[in-house]
């Protein structure tokens, strides 16, 4: 099942690598990834899509919240997450 996660993290070098490393160390593939600054230039929002069971996603979120650079990590409810596939032309 696809899950869309939203993570607020400090806009510092290496922050994205630490989050990606968490997924890699747990054996999860990141299907899509988008990182953009927020209104606060010291904070970036990372939005990613991954696959996994509900319990395993909860575990990933708990581990992500323990990372030094992570301010907030939540799963977006399906109606809030808009999925599109540019390769399909939609």
Cα dihedral 50, 29, 57, 18, rounded to 10, equals -110
0.75 cut: is pTM over it?
Answer: yes
- Are 46 and 33 in contact by the 8 Å Cβ rule? The answer is yes
How many whole angstroms separate alpha carbon 12 and alpha carbon 71? 12
pLDDT-derived band at 70 (thresholds 50, 70, 90) equals very high
How many whole angstroms separate alpha carbon 50 and alpha carbon 11? 22
* pLDDT for the residue numbered 64: 92
Give the distance between the most distant pair of CA atoms in the chain.
39
Domain extent for 71? 2-76
* Structural domain contains residue 47: yes
Q: Name the nearest CA neighbour of 18 among 69, 52, 61.
A: 69
Domain count, the chain: 1
* pLDDT for the residue numbered 26: 87
Instruction: Give me the CATH number covering residue 66.
Output: 3.30.70.260
The first and second tokens of residue 2, run together, are 């696809």
* Structural domain contains residue 83: no
- Are 74 and 6 in contact by the 8 Å Cβ rule? The answer is yes
* pLDDT for the residue numbered 89: 60
């Amino acid at each position: 099942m696809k899950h869309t996660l939203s993570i607020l993290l400090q806009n510092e070098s290496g922050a994205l690598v630490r989050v990606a490393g968490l997924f890699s160390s747990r054996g999860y593939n990141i299907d899509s990834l988008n990182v953009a600054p927020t209104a606060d230039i010291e904070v970036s929002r990372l939005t990613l899509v991954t696959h996994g069971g509900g319990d395993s996603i909860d575990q990933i979120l708990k581990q992500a919240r323990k990372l030094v650079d992570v301010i907030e990590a939540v799963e977006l409810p399906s109606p809030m997450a808009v999925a599109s596939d540019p390769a399909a032309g939609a």
